Copies of this chain bind each other. A is one copy, B any other.
Amino acid sequence: MNAPTDRKPRTVFFLSDQTGITAETLGRSLLTQFDDTEFRPITVPFIDTIDKAREVAERINETARKEGRRALVFSTLVADEIRGLIEEADCTHMDFFDTFIGPLERELKTRSSHAAGRAHGMHNPDNYSRRIDAMNFALANDDGVTSRNYGQSEVILVGVSRSGKTPTCLYLALHYGIYAANCPLTEDDLEDGKLPPALEEHKHKIFGLTIDPARLQGIRNERRPNSRYSSTRQVLYEVKETEALFRRYGIPFVNTTQTSVEEIAATVLHGTGLERHIR
């Protein structure tokens, strides 16, 4: 028989002297490998003083006492004194920097700067400008509102309404600095089986998004229940004709049904061979 605590979610701390994004991304990736275990995640960012570190260490110890078992702690803490305080707390502690910095220093034959807060900082004002410009581009060229800037765009996402075009364009902008426009296919386009002329001219830049009809119907139904827009017939028709059109033109496409925005964006980047502008 299991102790009752085993059925309760395991508490996980993501700790950082900065935003906590790295610790979270890494920790979450690892935890997805443990399907059968439930986790209760707590992020504590900006632990940049000894006092804050003591407070968190006490919270970790308190968790162990109250829950009858140790929390998992994932961290990116650069300062030795701060990391040391967490290390001494009653937990299973994995610090990502601590683990890898040593081998890297040996390989690079140099000392690391041991400076906190570099991972997501604005090292480079060019990066900042580029991502903002790209974001503004995505916003100004969303949903086919204009075809004027197709010449300037690096990729044009095409797909039925609610297939994920807008979030993917914004993700491409914010994370890779890519100029991405997007355009839905109209019913006229689908009936003709042709790309509109404004797109045809930029065919080589098009990347298609498709989605399983049942999932599309679910999404559309939330927005406009019992409408033609969300009817089985309409959804099946649009998806079938869109995919036929992609094939006819040799347009690469990705099915977004089981796919997160991160994955769609990475697939587009990889599939187009575009260079990211943010390093």
Chain A contact residues (Cβ within 8 angstroms of B): what range? Answer: 35 or more
A19 surroundings in chain B (CB, below 8 A): 262-263, 266-267
Stretch at the interface among A30-38, A153-161, A227-235: A30-38
Interface presence of A135 (CB below 8 A)? yes
Instruction: Assess whether A120 is in contact with B262, with CB atoms less than 8 Å apart.
Output: yes
Partner of A259, one of B96, B99, B118, B122: B122
- Name which of A82-90, A106-114, A243-251 contacts chain B: A106-114
- Which residue from B21, B29, B107, B108 sits with its C-beta under 8 Å from A119? B29
Chain A positions 199 through 234: 1 when the CB is less than 8 Å from some CB of chain B, otherwise 0:
000000000000000000001001000000000000
Closest Cβ neighbor of A109 among chain B residues: B6
In the complex, chain B residues whose CB is within 8 Å of the CB of A34: 104, 108, 110, 112-113
B262 near A33 (CB under 8 angstroms)? no
List of 10 A-B pairs having minimum Cβ-Cβ separation, nearest first: A19-B266, A32-B118, A29-B119, A33-B112, A120-B262, A22-B29, A25-B25, A92-B107, A122-B260, A120-B260
Q: List 30 A-B contacts (CB under 8 A).
A: A10-B108, A19-B262, A19-B263, A19-B266, A19-B267, A21-B25, A21-B262, A26-B96, A29-B118, A30-B101, A32-B119, A33-B97, A33-B101, A34-B110, A37-B108, A41-B279, A45-B270, A46-B270, A70-B107, A72-B104, A94-B100, A120-B260, A120-B263, A121-B258, A122-B259, A128-B260, A129-B219, A167-B174, A170-B174, A174-B174
